Structure 1
Amino acid sequence: MQYQEITGFVESSHVSTDLSLSLASSENKSNERNRKGRKKKSMKMENDEWKCSTSLVLCENPWKIRKVLTTSDTGGLSRLLLREYVGENFMLPVLDAHAHRKVISGTGSSVSVWDVDTMSMHNLILKRWPSLNSFVLVGKWNRDFVLRRALNTGDEIGLLWDSFKHCFLFSVLKRNH
Structure 2
Amino acid sequence: MVSEYLKQNTAEFHDAAERLFNSEKIFNKTFTLEDYKKIIHTNYLMLLHSEEQIFNSLSDKFSDRLQLSNRKKLSLIEKDLESLSLENQTASHNLEFNSENEALGAMYVIEGSTLGGNVIAKQLSKTEGFDHVTFNFFGCYQENTGPMWKNFKEVLDTEVKEENYTEVLLGAKKLYTFLLNVN
Which TM-score applies when normalising by structure 1? 0.25
Bigger RCO of structures 1 and 2 (CA < 8 A, at least 6 apart):
2
Structure 1 or 2: more strand by fraction: 1
Larger Rg: 1
